[in-house]
Amino acid sequence: MLILYYHRVGNFAPGEPRKLSVEPEVFEAQMRLLKKFRCNFISADDAVDIAFGRRKMPRRVALITFDDGYADTLKYAFPLLKENGIPSVMFIATEHVGKTDWNHKLHGIMDWAEIKRLHLSGVTIGAHTKTHRVLTELAPADMRAEVEESKKIIEDRIDAPVKYFAYPKGVYNEEAVKAVQNAGYTAAFGTKKGRKLNKEHLFEIRRIPVSANDKTRRFLIKITKNLNWV
């Protein structure tokens, strides 16, 4: 199973690092390439069902995820995904909703109305803590608050259960995993590279990062040769 994670889909500001963004035309080319390879796009719920054996996994499967909730991603990525019937997951850090990003202060984060609109359109909304602080650097009580309160805030805002979590910066330890499990999530995503998914590791799901450097040839290598996917 190929689980890709993006941050922002949008155009670059002058001098902006290229690690966290993908230009709209590059993102579109990547999705079209996956479709060309007859990829089966699935939802997070589908992935969990496959892990538990409740659903048979097709030969080529991909799950598209986004961290942080950039407004540009709403503008450039989601119309394309909706047009092509591609499910996706968006992970939100609740205290940054409606503000600018905490990395470079260059780009806006979606507001609650936009997040609710995404949810109503079929996008899975997940939690990414409240403040985007690294969980392993927090005291146990603060860790629990980040995990539990972000879930409740999003649920209240979109009026729907929040079942999925993404660790800020992909960093977690045994205590963080337990906090997420105890908060009532179904699964959690990190940023360690890999493609294997099973029910024993649903709170340490691995993902493949995608950046602006992954133009067509490099992206093709990433999803085929490097992963033995095809």
Looking only at the bridges linking them, the beta strands covering 124-127 and 88-92 are: parallel
What is the mean predicted confidence (pLDDT) over 214-230? 73
- Give the residue among 220, 191, 216 at the shortest CA–CA distance from 4: 191
**Which pLDDT value is given to residue 20?**
77
Give the DSSP letter of residue 57.
Answer: P
Q: What structural domains does the chain harbor?
A: 2-223 (3.20.20.370)
pTM above 0.85, yes or no: yes
| Residues whose CB falls within 8 Å of the CB of residue 206, separated by 6 or more in sequence, listed in order | 3, 190, 192, 193, 194, 195, 196, 197
CA–CA dist 138, 95 (Å, integer): 17
SS3 127: strand
Q: Does residue 37 have a pLDDT over 90?
A: no
Helix (H) or strand (E) holding 49: helix 44-51
Does residue 92 contact residue 73 with C-beta atoms inside 8 Å? no
- When the pLDDT of each residue in the chain is averaged and rounded to a whole number, the result is 91
Burial of 155 (0-12, 13-18, 19+ CB in 10 A): middle
**Which pLDDT value is given to residue 105?**
64
Does residue 49 contact residue 63 with C-beta atoms inside 8 Å? no
Q: Does residue 230 have a pLDDT over 60?
A: no
Q: Does residue 229 have a pLDDT over 60?
A: no
What is the mean predicted confidence (pLDDT) over 71-85? 95
Give the DSSP letter of residue 104.
Answer: T
Q: Does residue 103 have a pLDDT over 80?
A: no
**Which pLDDT value is given to residue 104?**
60
CA–CA dist 149, 127 (Å, integer): 10
> Which tokens sit at 3?
């689980």
Give the least confident one: 23-37, 128-142, 195-209: 195-209
- Give the residue among 150, 146, 151 at the shortest CA–CA distance from 172: 146
Does residue 9 contact residue 77 with C-beta atoms inside 8 Å? yes
What is the mean predicted confidence (pLDDT) over 165-190? 97
How far is CA 46 from each of CA 2, 107, 115, rounded to the nearest angstrom? 13, 32, 22
Q: Does residue 79 have a pLDDT over 60?
A: yes
pLDDT tens, 115-126?
999 999 999 999
pLDDT tens, 90-101?
999 999 999 987
